[in-house]
Structure 1
């Protein structure tokens, strides 16, 4: 699910960049900033990097079981609520030298893209992977001390970047805990299997 989330965001960002800039290759890639092993992989130099810096349960979701009724209240099932995740996603420009300002230009474009498209769901993004029900993007403000700690923890020098809180709903994460109510099987077509 996490890989689908980042890959989908990269796909949508690359689409937006190609419509605005004269580029034919994907410039936004899922990669940590310290990925120096490029054997058989695309180099991360002169790319926009998208990676996860933190994961946590979304605090807006309320824990506890929920009731779901079937057939006019005759039967009901008690299930867990779906899992809501809050993912800290970093979008960073890994450009240097003469290309540094190009990286800033593309990064600015992506900030505007995220501002224009804060929600991806089945209505506005029918190509959303089945493993995702909805993505909500919100820009985060991180104090400079925490920002410095994050980059040193990642083992990288600072890159021009922004952190987005991405709230994701994981479909099919509900589990039926128990069923209550009577079963009424009046007419069955069950026959004993011949040995």
Structure 2
């Protein structure tokens, strides 16, 4: 459900940018910043990276509703989580002005649409009733710690707290990974 939430938001921002800036390419990509080996994870430059940097349990569960199919399982209660999502401008050094522009576009987008529901975002997954984006202010020390933990140098960025996703075991579906090889290959019998 985390992937579904973040990919939907990324797509929505891209559609907004394409419409307002009259561009054809996706400027917002859902990606880590660096790979485990320290290499850059983002494909290409001059993009805004959407990166999950933390998951936190929601402690104040005042009103939780389930909009998906099925009923709650009282034997295994739900858990509600908040996501911390970093929007960072991964632009080449000679394109710093563009990095700041796209960072501004991102902030402006969330000022005009800080809540995602099925009514205003038809592509939102059925298991998600609402996502609310809140701008997080990090002081210099916390920001420095975050970038050090991410293993990379600072980029112009903004952090949002996304409230809240509700999990129970109803989201687990059968997983079928893609099969490598040609159409003529067969799998061994089990």
The alignment's TM-score, normalised by the length of structure 1, stands at 0.73
Structure 1 match to 2:12: 12
The answer as to 2:36 corresponding to 1:30 is no
Larger CA Rg, structure 1 vs 2 = 1
> Cα–Cα, structure 1 residues 118 and 82, in superposed 2: closer, same or farther, change >3 Å?
farther
What are the within-5 Å matches in structure 2 for residues 101-116 of structure 1? 101-116=97-112
What are the within-5 Å matches in structure 2 for residues 69-148 of structure 1? 79=74, 82-148=78-144
The alpha carbon displacement at 1:143 in A equals 1.0
> Cα–Cα, structure 1 residues 85 and 101, in superposed 2: closer, same or farther, change >3 Å?
same
- Residue by residue, what CA displacement relative to the aligned partner does 1:77-117 show, whole Å, maximum 9, x if unpaired? 98366432111000000012222111211110110111111
Q: Secondary structure at the match of 2:34?
A: coil
Quote the Cα distance in structure 2 between the aligned partners of 1:102 and 1:139. Answer: 21
Quote the Cα distance in structure 1 between the aligned partners of 2:22 and 2:135. Answer: 27
Quote the Cα distance in structure 1 between the aligned partners of 2:19 and 2:3. Answer: 25
Quote the Cα distance in structure 1 between the aligned partners of 2:79 and 2:119. Answer: 21
- Does structure 1 retain, via aligned residues, the 8 Å contact 2:5–2:124? no
The alpha carbon displacement at 1:5 in A equals 1.5
- Residue by residue, what CA displacement relative to the aligned partner does 1:166-185 show, whole Å, maximum 9, x if unpaired? 012336x288xxxxxxxxxx
The alpha carbon displacement at 1:124 in A equals 2.0
Following TM superposition, the consecutive aligned residue runs of length 4 or more in structure 1 with deviations greater than 3 angstroms are 35-38
Superposition CA RMSD, Å: 2.4
Aligned residues: 158
Quote the Cα distance in structure 2 between the aligned partners of 1:109 and 1:130. Answer: 28
**Structure 2, unpaired ranges of 5+:** 63-71, 171-190
Structure 1 match to 2:55: 55
- Does structure 1 retain, via aligned residues, the 8 Å contact 2:33–2:40? no
Structure 1 match to 2:153: 157
Quote the Cα distance in structure 2 between the aligned partners of 1:94 and 1:125. Answer: 27
> Cα–Cα, structure 1 residues 124 and 81, in superposed 2: closer, same or farther, change >3 Å?
farther
The alignment's TM-score, normalised by the length of structure 2, stands at 0.75
